[in-house]
Structure 1
Amino acid sequence: MNIKKVTFRNADMAWDMAALVLLPDGFDDSKRYPTMISVHPFGSCKEQTSSAVYGKALAELGYVVIAFDASFQGESGGLPRYVEDPTQRVEDISRVIDYAITLPYVDETRIGGLGICGGGGYILNSALTEKRLKAVVGITPVNVGRLFREGFSLYNPIGALEAMAAQRTAEARGAELQVNELLPPSLEFAKENGLTERDVFEATDYYKTPRGQAEGGATRMLFSHAQKTLSWDAFAFAETLMTQPMMAVVGQKVGAFGAFRDGQEIYGRAVASKDRKLVDLENWSHYELYDHPEAVGQAMDKVAPFLAEYLK
């Protein structure tokens, strides 16, 4: 497998996007390959699970894989930094496809998508309107809008919106930007302060230790610019618009971020899908599905034949 680091800018963009292009062994640039767009989680970056784990696994199956940094995050451009805007995240996917189809070795009739955590919600949402995607997979997918309306706002979405409005007004008048850190700084801090809920603790173990830590994976969010997230629903209109084959992979070791619930929901709602599948893995948690070899292996055992049916 060969990895190329690229930047690109489409005609309608005001900043560059950064991506890793993973090429399969034996790559021949005179041939055309099925291609996967790999979408990183909320608070993550392209160097983490979207390329190093799932991107690698897909490239080993013979796909060209494009793992990219979201706008305002990682090495991609866009100001202010650390904006998590679901509409922008979904538009990023279309812009990456725009880039992909300019590559002579990408077969535009065989493009699929895979996303992890929030990226899973984004790739599933993208498929509702982005019909260049021929099949999509959400690995432990999270509907970020639901999560913000619930746990991330302490089940007080109106209070959160009012606080965001006040902070944005203050910043427009010159106040310092409020960038929130979303996780405990270390496992020790989490233990000492009782932050041991499964998803919170395992996220800290992934993002704040050498296991998954990466410079671009900031786990930060600009508080004042997150308002639109609370009115967004990854699965809105899925009953009508999710026509492509789709798969959701979830683990039964449930945590507070709600991926098990969200995977069940999109599977239940995607009644228009040509082929919908739910993979329910008994012994694994949300963050074990990021990089635990056995958990990822079990997921890929289901993902590989599913994608092969529609993209190979």
Structure 2
Amino acid sequence: MEKMETINKEKIFFKNQTLKLAGELYFPLDFDNNQKFAAIIISHPGNGVKEQVAGLYAKKLAENGFISLAFDASHQGESEGLPRYLDDPAKRVEDIRCAVDFLVTLPYIDENKIGAMGICAGAGYAINTAQTEYRIQAVAGISTWDVGDSQRNGFARKWTKQQRNEILQEVALQRTREARGEKPLFVGYVPDSEADFDDDTPIIQREAYEYYCTSRAAHPNSHNKYLYTGNDRFIAWEAFNLLDTLSPRPLLLIVGSLADTIYFSENAYEKANEPKELYIVEGASHVDLYDQEIYVEQVTEKLTDFFRAYL
């Protein structure tokens, strides 16, 4: 590939076992395939696809000198996988490992300078992967969400054990229905319309509806649904159970001061050993960090400093 004058991106595909995953590789302005570059793998939120916030940060990091990879998770977006819309934490983690496998085959990637990051649930998956994937040298999370915690305990940890057990019982019943021929049950990540809001709807759900379901950031491959029977996998999964073993590799957590999800980042920070940093973006909410220019520029600057220091 010849040296380019503007940011360029290339459609790529890589495998997770038998599944073909679709991604976009972003190149820095000074790209030269005779040189070696640091690379960043970027994981999208649960309701996202590579063309949304993951792609935005991939572009921003490429502008600052990194090769960046944003991709669609297994069963989602343009990537293969049946059943569709399955959100499986184990698969999401393996996707990231396979993204590393892909990058180390490229002659212009420095295999000793690979980082990972994610947004929302993608941050939880990226951090979890880095715990045991030693080819990832540095990891960052933006508006981190731990899907295991939220499905075991409810948002803001308001559920009782009985409520959790009721979900597992309903998952069991639904699996039986589908085994006997009924159609799969899908549920939304966020409300389908403002009419679905009530007094108990968290700020994150209201903001996420606006991001995913309006002209702000809606994309035809982002369908606001996941397979209900995957809830048992969420409940069984722990994002940060080995986070103390990440050190001496560094962790950066970026979260808005107004985010009602800040407790996920605080929990991860508490469990991690040095080097670690919890970076608070004053005045920002959870979803503000997805696309609001004033905050995106601040987050990009912090990410760039972090990855330059550790890769």
TM range (shorter): over 0.9
Letter in 2 for 1:203: A
Residue 287 (structure 1) aligned with residue 287 (structure 2): yes
Q: Identify the residue that residue 18 of structure 2 maps to in structure 1.
A: 14
- The whole-number CA distance in structure 2 between the counterparts of 1:299 and 1:8 is 28
Does the 8 A contact of 1:251 with 1:285 survive in 2?
A: yes
Residue 103 (structure 1) aligned with residue 106 (structure 2): yes
Ranges in structure 2 where 5+ consecutive residues have no aligned partner: 1-6
- The whole-number CA distance in structure 1 between the counterparts of 2:167 and 2:115 is 36
1:163-312 aligned within 5 A: 163-187=170-194, 189-190=195-196, 193-194=198-199, 197-255=202-260, 258=261, 260-271=262-273, 273=274, 275-311=275-311
Letter in 2 for 1:81: R
SS at match of 1:285: coil
TM-score by length of 1: 0.92
- 1:151, distance to aligned residue in structure 2 (A): 2.4
1:96-175 aligned within 5 A: 96-151=99-154, 155=159, 156-175=163-182
Paired-residue identity, % = 37
Letter in 2 for 1:7: F
Does the 8 A contact of 2:151 with 2:231 survive in 1?
A: no
- The whole-number CA distance in structure 1 between the counterparts of 2:158 and 2:92 is 24
Deviations 1:237-271 (A, max 9, x none): 2123444111000111132xx2x101111111111
- 1:232, distance to aligned residue in structure 2 (A): 1.0
SS at match of 2:50: coil
Residue 75 (structure 1) aligned with residue 81 (structure 2): no
User: Structure 1 residues 144-153 or 279-288, which shifts more?
Assistant: 144-153
Does the 8 A contact of 2:253 with 2:279 survive in 1?
A: yes
Of residues 52, 61, 64, the one that matches 2:64 is 61
- 1:139, distance to aligned residue in structure 2 (A): 0.5
- 1:194, distance to aligned residue in structure 2 (A): 4.9
Does the 8 A contact of 1:267 with 1:278 survive in 2?
A: yes
- 1:148, distance to aligned residue in structure 2 (A): 1.0
- The whole-number CA distance in structure 2 between the counterparts of 1:96 and 1:266 is 23
Deviations 1:125-151 (A, max 9, x none): 111000100111100111110111122
SS at match of 1:226: helix
Does the 8 A contact of 1:195 with 1:201 survive in 2?
A: no
The verdict on how the C-alpha distance between 1:237 and 1:196 changes in structure 2, with shifts beyond 3 A counting, is: closer
Deviations 1:31-55 (A, max 9, x none): 111000000001111111001x211
Q: Identify the residue that residue 2 of structure 1 maps to in structure 2.
A: 8
- 1:165, distance to aligned residue in structure 2 (A): 0.7
TM-score by length of 2: 0.92
Does the 8 A contact of 2:187 with 2:226 survive in 1?
A: yes
Letter in 2 for 1:227: D
Aligned length: 301
Deviations 1:162-217 (A, max 9, x none): 10011011101111100112222234x245x5575311110011001111111222
- The whole-number CA distance in structure 1 between the counterparts of 2:237 and 2:250 is 23
Residue 89 (structure 1) aligned with residue 106 (structure 2): no
